Amino acid sequence: MKIYEILIDTITDNLKLFPFLFVTYLFLEYLEQKMSDKTAELIKKANRGGPFVGSLCGVLPQCGFSVVAANFYAARLISIGTLMAIFLSTSDELLPIMISSAASPQLIIKILGYKFMCGIFFGYVTDYLWRQKHNIPEVNIEQLCENEHCHCENSVWRPALYHSVRITLFIFVFTLVLNILFAFVHPSALTAYLQTPILSELLSALFGLLPNCSASVILTQLYLENCINIGTLLSGSLANAGVGLLILFRVNKNIKQNIKILCVLYVCGVVGGMLGGLLF
């Protein structure tokens, strides 16, 4: 693939992501200016069903939901379990590739259904364990704006556009570099490392953590070509949250917390993949 083709693909992907970012920041800016204590309390109560709703939204074939989730978590509008549920269930490019490759509907439903259940289960478990050690976070949209230095005033449109453009440019630079690297790595080069039991799930989940849809594309192609088993595919797919992780590290300034989330996501990916391999 030529460099200009990679550039065009990267620009196209970012343009598709921009509406999600803009709508997300419009919502956050509106809440920052209009939110009352009662509204904040309602959001907290809604978190009890967050992992279920989050996992349901994540199954839809759009990495935009993981981006929305990262921003909402940074503003403390959703719980850590809801964030984890969305990250785990996000299918990214898996569904479009399987449909275009004429994969059986039963296989697609089985994989997406399993990711949905993993999102719910690990989401609630994460919420339970996390809240044993941490207080429930306060809604803090103002902190998100301060981190981005947007100098928000009374208008919601200008700061929302400011946030969206900054994040889009950040994603563009990072994903362009990754796309160029992936262009020179043929999927077959990874096959030998992804066929060893246990090691395959460990490596696949690690590969899935890369904040780029190329990881999902490569793993799905390898599975459809019978180069890896379904457990290996599930490990990488569960750990792959698209650019959601990238956004989390960009907007959430608590680095230690981000690293913990990354580690939890990796462990859930490995465990979920191994269990999926045994079940299927």
- The pLDDT tens digits for 148-195 are 555 555 567 777 788 778 778 877 887 788 788 777 766 666 666 677
For 98-150, how does the pLDDT look when each residue is reduced to its tens digit (9 = 90+)? 887 788 999 999 999 999 999 999 999 999 998 755 544 555 555 555 555 55
Per-residue pLDDT, 34: 59
Residue extents of the structural domains in the chain: 3-279
Asked whether residue 218 carries a pLDDT value surpassing 70, the answer given is yes
Q: Which residue has the tokens 């984890």?
A: 84
pLDDT at 72: 87
- pLDDT attached to residue 120: 95
> Burial code of 84-105, b = ≥16 C-beta within 10 A, e = fewer?
bbbbbbbbbbbbebbeeeebee
Position 61 pLDDT exceeds 70: no
pLDDT digits (tens, 9 = 90+) for 6-19: 888 888 888 887 88
Q: What is the pLDDT of residues 220-244, one digit of tens each?
A: 888 987 888 999 999 999 999 888 8
What is the structure's pLDDT at 41? 57
In this structure, the number of other CB atoms found within 10 A of the CB of residue 142 comes to: 12
Helix, strand, coil tally for the chain in percent (to 5): 80, 0, 20
Nearest-angstrom CA–CA distance, 210 and 266: 11
